[in-house]
Structure 1
Amino acid sequence: MAALLIGELPHLTRVQVAERAGVPLDVAVTLWHQLGFPHHSDDDVAFTEGDVAALRLTSELVGMGIWSPESQAALVRTWARSYARLAEWQTSLLAGLVSDVGEPATALTDLAGDVLPRVEELQTYVWRRHLADAAQHLLEDEGVLTAAETQLSVCFVDIVGYTTHSRGLDGTELVAWVDGFEQDTAALVVDHGGQVIKTIGDEVLFTVADPAAAVTVAMALTARGEDADDPFPAVRAGIAHGAVVRRLGDVFGTTVNAASRLTSAARPGSVLVDAGVHEALAAHDADPGGAEAAGWRWHRVRRLPAKGFTHLEAWRVRPPRNDG
């Protein structure tokens, strides 16, 4: 199985790999640790020519100035977390497909041989498409090229009563419920030009350049959660707009913290926004083609205790009045 998945049988020690790649052993060991690979002694035969090539490529990228030692460490750790989760999910999927057969090991090997090349090709395609999309966003936002910060709307969408509701579901039902929440939220975010940064159990964090788009998504999701006939869970949301630091697919800064605090303070089924969002959208009241054409209503929240903030201004966004 190892030979099938890796491409060849392990036949090298880590000392031999480092020597062939022309990289100091301590550098190679540090890289493997950052990738989250199991520890091996100098005598363990656990590596292949693929490890030699990967180590050599890493050294070449550092030599070209593409990676500093610090950025290499951060990027490799990000890869390790992402691919470890992906690999765990994929093997669980394969295991589920062969769980009913008489000899799981043989069936898993046969299935992996058929599936692996296709999955690998598809993953490369998905990566390149996302790379092209990210590069296009970079070119469109010239400020990103010259500054460490960029202006974004940051939104957290949080399932209300997750712990209580999840207790009444078995494992399969819980996974289906959370997957439905994540899929529907991600689809709506992408449709409005946003990007899902990460999912945190019962919460989704996304960003979008346009605060109107962030509010539109949040209002649509909370409305779905309030519909008793819709299986989408009840949610609440918090949105802040301002300077954000992007790093390795994640976002950081006071704006992110503000959005998190607003979400925690929001009532079930409601959307709270900060002054940045309110100022960007409420100023267009008189513009027939502006964001306020949606008819949103604003209610100032007078007191909002928020850890880490002396005074976090907040507004509750409400749907338009139904005059009919």
Structure 2
Amino acid sequence: MAADRVEHDADGASGRSSTLDGLDDALLGGPRTLTLRDLAEQVGIDLDLVRLYWQTLGLPHPAADEVVFTQQDAEAVRRWADLQREHGVDRRTAISLTRALGHTSDRLALWQVEALVEDLSRRHQLDDTSARLLVLDRLADIAPLLESQLVHSWRRQLAAIAGRLSAEFAHQRDERPDPTALPLARAVGFADMVSFTRRTAGLGSTDLSEFVQRFESVARDVVTDAGGRVVKTIGDAVLFVADDVETGAMVALGLARVLGGELDVEREKEAGGLAEGARGVTPVRVGFVWGRVLSRFGDVFGPSVNLAARLTDIADPSSVLTDGSTAALLADDRRFRAVQQPTRDLAGIGPIAPVLLSEA
């Protein structure tokens, strides 16, 4: 489609009063005909519980008699109630499960919409407003494809978690774990981009988006290729875990090596724009340790997580720091070389003698 035709369509989309009604039919399964009170009556639970569900999902909760819900909403509330009534899930856990859905799907939907806006803007040379209006116009047609990908991805991820749990714990059914210890033994590490503020100063939205996306994409590829898993990315940093110390070391060293090239933003812009230059990489500082962690809310917690973060703070660019106990676990592996460093005082942790880890 020609750019002028796309712009015309986008302008037209803003003037059609049926756009949102059509989206409701496509995304919400029909028109909004129910109130909060109607949902409570249909499902057979207290009005306050319906409010709690909607609030936990992270969506605005209207007045009790405002007509904003659909039959699909009623079914969602019923399934939430059935988790508790038929499957014995307690209220606290049901809230946690719903909060996970709300937090993840909110970010996912925003990520996907913004990616579509960038795609249309780039392909058809549209300004941001026209691209957003065109996404709105096309969303009903695209949504089923995104939904099917979401369900497939979720099922594969759940199957992968089940496989890991079975491999790690099936042989421990008759063992008595230490109730005072954190439950999971994991390699955990951070990779933090060097000079993020300087490298991104003055970038426009497209260039900044491509810069951050490139960092996250390369980091995720390195982590997964080495056998680890990304817990989360935080703009200029990535948190990863691995099920054994050797894999954790390979992930950490891979991140330091692959993300080791300098990306000079000003030079790349002068040479023809960052859109091309953003396909480069940028150095990171990496800290990683082996220890026990608590896994909750899609994140990991524990002293080893804090230590890995502090080691990242003092690491040199494109280097990996670990602690003495982790280095000792790798001592017999000829793939790695460990060099003791001077003792440092780490905030919130105290004095520690870090170890510089490298490939032999």
Q: Read off the aligned partner of 1:175 and give its amino acid letter.
A: S
Matches within 5 A, 1:183-198: 183-198=217-232
Displacement of 1:228: 4.6
Inter-partner Cα distance in structure 2 for 1:6 and 1:273: 50
Inter-partner Cα distance in structure 2 for 1:32 and 1:86: 18
Which range moved further: 186-195 or 216-225?
216-225
Contact kept, 8 Å, 2:28 with 2:73, in 1: the verdict is no
Displacement of 1:300: 1.4
Inter-partner Cα distance in structure 1 for 2:119 and 2:29: 23
Inter-partner Cα distance in structure 1 for 2:101 and 2:254: 33
Inter-partner Cα distance in structure 1 for 2:353 and 2:89: 40
User: CA 1:200/1:228 → structure 2, altered by over 3 Å: closer, same or farther?
Assistant: closer
Inter-partner Cα distance in structure 2 for 1:91 and 1:44: 28
* Structure 1: gaps spanning 5 or more residues: 285-290
The Cα offsets for residues 31-76 of structure 1, whole Å up to 9 and x where unpaired, read as: 1111111130012101011111111111111123453222222222
The Cα offsets for residues 116-149 of structure 1, whole Å up to 9 and x where unpaired, read as: 1111111100000001000000101118977561
Inter-partner Cα distance in structure 2 for 1:310 and 1:98: 52
Displacement of 1:107: 4.6
1:180 and 2:221 equivalent?
no
Contact kept, 8 Å, 2:187 with 2:288, in 1: the verdict is yes
Contact kept, 8 Å, 1:178 with 1:202, in 2: the verdict is yes
1:267 and 2:316 equivalent?
yes
Q: Read off the aligned partner of 1:172 and give its amino acid letter.
A: T
SS in 1 for 2:318: coil
Number of corresponding residues: 311
Q: In the alignment, which residue of structure 2 is the partner of 1:300?
A: 340
Contact kept, 8 Å, 1:273 with 1:314, in 2: the verdict is yes
Which range moved further: 168-177 or 65-74?
65-74
User: CA 1:279/1:65 → structure 2, altered by over 3 Å: closer, same or farther?
Assistant: farther
Matches within 5 A, 1:120-199: 120-142=147-169, 149-199=183-233
Matches within 5 A, 1:229-244: 231-244=280-293
Amino-acid identity (%):
32
Contact kept, 8 Å, 1:242 with 1:276, in 2: the verdict is no
Contact kept, 8 Å, 1:297 with 1:318, in 2: the verdict is yes
Displacement of 1:174: 1.4
Inter-partner Cα distance in structure 1 for 2:248 and 2:120: 42
Inter-partner Cα distance in structure 2 for 1:108 and 1:200: 27
Inter-partner Cα distance in structure 2 for 1:66 and 1:234: 49
Q: Read off the aligned partner of 2:156 and give its amino acid letter.
A: R
Contact kept, 8 Å, 1:14 with 1:44, in 2: the verdict is yes
Q: In the alignment, which residue of structure 2 is the partner of 1:26?
A: 48
Inter-partner Cα distance in structure 1 for 2:130 and 2:357: 57
* Structure 2: gaps spanning 5 or more residues: 1-19, 264-278
